[in-house]
Amino acid sequence: MDKSNRATVLAGNWKMNKTASEASELIKELIPAIEGANCDVVICVPYTSLDVAARLCKGTNISVGAQNCHYEESGAFTGEVSVTMLIESGVTHVIVGHSERRQYFGETDITVNLRARKAVSKGLIAIICVGELLEEREAGITEDVLSRQVKAALSDMTQEDMEHVIIAYEPVWAIGTGKTATSQQAGEACRFIRGIVEELFNADVAKSLTIQYGGSMNPSNAEELLAQEHVDGGLIGGASLKASDFKSLVDAASK
Ligand code: PEP
């Protein structure tokens, strides 16, 4: 399958790291380091750094993302942030359904779908995370889990909505553990996800969908993972916090 009809997107997920002043320092290092990138680059920073990130990245090739959003427009949802608030802060992307949110904050397939639909309805790009637990892989049910998560996340989405969707395949056992999926495992899972999307929509939607791999991607394994036919970039945690490492990944994704 030809990769040229879809974008390669390298997105950093900073998680709960970097104060606003630390974010400013890292972004000032990143801007010149990756100005020649031949792929889309996004940094998903904590809410408190959105403002500084949007200001510094304006006019550069770096887009700014958030790590979550709420599905209601406004109201009594203490601690939550709406899509409209994110857009006004200069955000263009938002991670939805990261496994850490599913694991620690009660995120379910249903709320992932609500958040993703709200984000795309307002024009944000939703980076929807799916992935199996180690015990699910060992029990041989990886495809069942991916199928359930992808179908639930994309439920009630239209073909137009899909232009604002990226799926990140992130095997939970590979996130922040230093254990990476083999390039074959990553490639097969991303191919499987593309097949589900084709089943739900059609071949054109499937072909143009960006599917990232995420899970301990680093400068030494990135090239092989990104060379997989169905892997169109990465969602990067740890290695997005150091300008030199992130630059290496951007270089690998730019080939
Ligand atoms: C992530 O948080 O999405 C992630 C992939 O983390 P790491 O690269 O640290 O495994």
Give strand pairing partners of 82. 70
In whole angstroms, give the CA distance from residue 237 to residue 253: 16
Which DSSP helix (H) or strand (E) runs through 10? strand 9-13
Which DSSP helix (H) or strand (E) runs through 213? strand 210-214
| Span 63-104, pLDDT tens digits | 999 999 999 999 999 999 999 999 999 999 999 999 999 999
206 near 198, Cβ under 8 Å?
Answer: yes
DSSP 180: P
Mean pLDDT of 237-245: 97
Which DSSP helix (H) or strand (E) runs through 142? helix 142-153
Residue 4: its pLDDT value, please? 79
Query: CA 116: distance to chain centroid?
Result: 12
| Span 196-240, pLDDT tens digits | 999 999 999 999 999 999 999 999 999 999 999 999 999 999 999
In whole angstroms, give the CA distance from residue 110 to residue 125: 18
Mean pLDDT of 185-194: 98
Nearest protein Cα to ligand 1, atom 6: 237
| Span 124-167, pLDDT tens digits | 999 999 999 999 999 999 999 999 999 999 999 999 999 999 99
Residue 61: its pLDDT value, please? 98
- The reply to whether ligand 1 has any atom less than 6 angstroms from the CB of 234 is no
Determine the distance separating the centroid of ligand 1 and the alpha carbon of 76, expressed in angstroms.
31
Residue 1: its pLDDT value, please? 54
| Span 31-75, pLDDT tens digits | 999 999 999 999 999 999 999 999 999 999 999 999 999 999 999
Q: Which of 9, 10, 13 to mutate to test the pocket of ligand 1 (most atoms within 8 A of CB)?
A: 13
Band of the pLDDT at 5, cuts 50, 70, 90? confident
Determine the distance separating the centroid of ligand 1 and the alpha carbon of 183, expressed in angstroms.
16
Band of the pLDDT at 3, cuts 50, 70, 90? confident
- The reply to whether ligand 1 has any atom less than 6 angstroms from the CB of 166 is no
Mean pLDDT of 17-31: 98
Q: State the first-to-last Cα distance of the chain, in angstroms, to the nearest integer.
A: 17
Residue 86: its pLDDT value, please? 98
Nearest protein Cα to ligand 1, atom 7: 237
- Tokens matching residue 8: 């390669």
In whole angstroms, give the CA distance from residue 125 to residue 161: 9
